[in-house]
Structure 1
């Protein structure tokens, strides 16, 4: 079912109302629940927006976004990607490399449509949203590791908001502050307060709830006292602020090695013989995808 290009909705952001136009990005019906059990019908005109946002770089945000996008495409979903980081373009470059691999080798790899925003024009931003969401079931948006106007608008319009973070108090400081002696959470940080206000604006605008997921990325394989303290602090803050916590991707060399070819851990037929580390990486990826609790595409095959 095609989406009407005349659909328009005003969503309040931290900076005031922002209008996104085109492609039924905001339909008249309430957004679908992000929780387990929801399914995308073949004739559905719903778009599920997944935004990866963290104002700190180096958390594996783009790598995770690519793997989620490819996983959804492998399940038969129509996936579009938008890279808002016009400086680094990690998501865009990853998919550029994937497209080049397809052209060079003739491999039959699933491929989402994708664009990179210039970071300047609101008109171009709206146009890209309209173009990408026209025939998509999922729109995956990767944001810069810094405060950004367009990232704030994207977060406001997310169905699922994913904030990857490393297992350290340096990263935790983005979302909460702790007592230096007891390591108990003293208060949420500015970023948590921003997301809290953003979720309230969204609920007031269309009654939808943004499912905020904190993704513990780049977990070390050795359990340490500091990791336990970070884990306890995240759990404390999650109850206070209202986000879910799930394990993400471990620190593995394979993820960096895959970037030049644009391959992912899901492209097992193109990775050659897989060792135990690769098998473990695929399993943690499956667990992460399950933890995100995204709607299932119709007739989704196993990955």
Structure 2
């Protein structure tokens, strides 16, 4: 993600998606947002999980902490896509579509990146987000239970079953995207809550994920280890990329803080642009390029 501000005609939309809660989506999203802001990019964030609002609370805590301590912290321009109410499913979805795409319309020309956090369930706004994504990031806990979303492991072995329901949802979103502009959405699966100790389960999981990556064409990245420090950051809105000293957190940084920073920097480097051969934008005819995210979203309605 190194570089400086760019001048795109349309912001690069990064979606954090997973149908299972507790995978570190919001924590990963905030660290990615702060990394992009620190690199000089213009960043907007959108929370489509208006029940939990984890990303919103994290950013609110960050702004409050900065005011109370009198320090400068990078804050994105933030939006919340609210759930609609109505008498019919079609009416509710139509209102949610209009509200959400209005947010995207407002930010896609004024920002370099838009980072979207989605709810941990199969919902209308979650599917809309996936349909519009340029990059999809799926954090999963480093466990065989979470692997089941992508395919699971066959009984008695370490060979994956490629029929995971979330993988099927992503495949549908990718097909929708290709119908509009011929681009294959970049999909990155991030292993979060990595154990410090290697185990047979970890080796089985890694082997299965590598096989699934070949089947589903996603990239695999190591993410956040099981560190108490990542849970502590939420209350202050801080990240491992911030200056962690007496002025900010009231204590000197520990080895755990420094290790967390290295993990995040390695992850952000992995989340950079995919190899050119994976997203061949040059092969897309100009007439096929969508004029706005509204065109992408409408395919997924």
- Establish whether TM, by shorter chain, passes 0.5: yes
> What are the superposed Cα offsets for residues 167-215 of structure 1, whole Å, 9 maximum, x if unpaired?
1111000110321201211332121122112212211211122100000
Displacement of 1:158 in angstroms is 0.8
More helix by share: 2
Structure-1 residue corresponding to 2:263: 284
Using structure 1 for the length normalisation, give the TM-score.
0.81
Using structure 2 for the length normalisation, give the TM-score.
0.82
Kindly indicate whether the alpha-carbon contact (under 8 Å) linking 2:10 and 2:108 is maintained by their aligned counterparts in 1: no
Displacement of 1:150 in angstroms is 1.0
Displacement of 1:256 in angstroms is 1.0
Root-mean-square deviation (Å): 1.7
Q: Does 1:236 align with 2:240?
A: no
Structure-1 residue corresponding to 2:179: 204
Structure-1 residue corresponding to 2:27: 63
More strand by share: 1
Displacement of 1:293 in angstroms is 1.4
Q: Does 1:158 align with 2:133?
A: yes
Kindly indicate whether the alpha-carbon contact (under 8 Å) linking 2:152 and 2:161 is maintained by their aligned counterparts in 1: yes
CA separation of 1:40/1:187 partners in 2, compared to 1, >3 Å: closer, same or farther? same
Q: Does 1:74 align with 2:38?
A: yes
Secondary structure of 1:66's aligned partner: helix
Equivalence map 1:4-43=2 (5 Å)? 42-43=6-7
Cα distance in 1 for residues equivalent to 2:169 and 2:215: 14
Structure-2 residue corresponding to 1:106: 70
Kindly indicate whether the alpha-carbon contact (under 8 Å) linking 2:150 and 2:162 is maintained by their aligned counterparts in 1: no
> What are the superposed Cα offsets for residues 139-183 of structure 1, whole Å, 9 maximum, x if unpaired?
000000000111111111111100000111110001103212012
Kindly indicate whether the alpha-carbon contact (under 8 Å) linking 2:188 and 2:218 is maintained by their aligned counterparts in 1: yes
**Segment drifting more, 222-231 vs 271-280:** 271-280
CA separation of 1:154/1:55 partners in 2, compared to 1, >3 Å: closer, same or farther? same
Secondary structure of 2:191's aligned partner: strand
> What are the superposed Cα offsets for residues 200-256 of structure 1, whole Å, 9 maximum, x if unpaired?
221121112210000001101010111110111101111111111010111111111
